[in-house]
Amino acid sequence: MAKEPSVYQRRRNATEQELRQIPWLALLTPNDRTFVAPQVVVSDPQAGDYVCRMGRPVTFWFGVIEGLLKMSTDSASGRTITFTGVPPGGWFGEGTALKREPYRYNIMALRHSVVAGIPVDTFHWLLDNSIGFNRFVMNQFNERLAQFIQAREIDRSNDPDMRVARNLAALFNPTLFPGVGEMLRITQQELAYLVGLSRQRVNVALNTLQAQGAIRIEYGGVRVLDLKALRGWSS
């Protein structure tokens, strides 16, 4: 049986509709956009496919058009440590691309997704030439620093309701993930993978958050009703 093409081998040029879903493209000057847009490629990782692997050299800067990815690493003991999920609108790995260093984490698709990327040389060209792009990247760094500080706080908590609430809040970050809006399409099993709890315990937590008016569980996902409450949740 022939081997399935890799995520990289399945890449193609982005469509106009896909380009419209890339938040930083709108910040470029017309000339810069004309130069960069043809270099944007997309691929379609399936559930379990890796977009980035630990130790591999960086070749692209990536973002999510559709679907859901998981950022994680493997400890020396073989335990998988999940850092965050990456929903639609999220671009990631700018620190790795900036330093041109090997990846220190894995990025895996939790479901069929559409992922866009630009070559790392194009990423550096934009840093050298576009003020709008630099502001976007600075905002990314600032928001991501706050995100990982909060993630450390969550890791130290034994309160499962807080873990689910704060992780949901992180996925609704409008700066990092502008494609999410008020409705996040995610299954309870996918959320369990990101939070590090069982699906059954995630279900209990979601019902608690819904009863308190912070979210509404809908078919295919979760709608946020009170983002401030999710961010500050404690039992």
> Among 84, 118, 148, which residue terminates a domain?
148
pLDDT in tens, 7-60: 988 999 999 999 999 999 999 999 999 999 999 999 999 999 999 999 999 999
pLDDT tops 70 at residue 119? yes
Containing domain of residue 211, as a range? 159-231
Considering the entire predicted model, what is its pTM?
0.88
pLDDT tops 90 at residue 226? yes
Q: Are residues 24 and 137 in the same domain?
A: yes
pLDDT in tens, 189-209: 999 998 889 999 999 999 999
Q: Are residues 143 and 209 in the same domain?
A: no
Q: Are residues 43 and 130 in the same domain?
A: yes
pLDDT at 158: 77
Tell me the C-alpha distance between 195 and 193, whole Å. 6
Q: Are residues 133 and 167 in the same domain?
A: no
* Spatial CA neighbour of 73 closest among 45, 102, 36, 33: 102
pLDDT at 156: 66
pLDDT at 83: 81
Q: If you search the block for the tokens 């840093």, which residue do you land on?
A: 127
Judged by DSSP in three states, 58 sits in coil
Q: Are residues 107 and 196 in the same domain?
A: no
pLDDT tops 70 at residue 154? no
* Spatial CA neighbour of 142 closest among 183, 116, 108, 176: 176
- Give the domain CATH number at 182: 1.10.10.10
- Domain count within the chain: 2
* Spatial CA neighbour of 235 closest among 141, 158, 170, 179: 158
Helix or strand run (H / E) with residue 164: helix 160-171
**Average of per-residue pLDDT values in the chain:** 91
Q: Are residues 32 and 81 in the same domain?
A: yes
pLDDT tops 70 at residue 235? no
Q: Are residues 46 and 86 in the same domain?
A: yes
> Among 105, 125, 148, which residue terminates a domain?
148
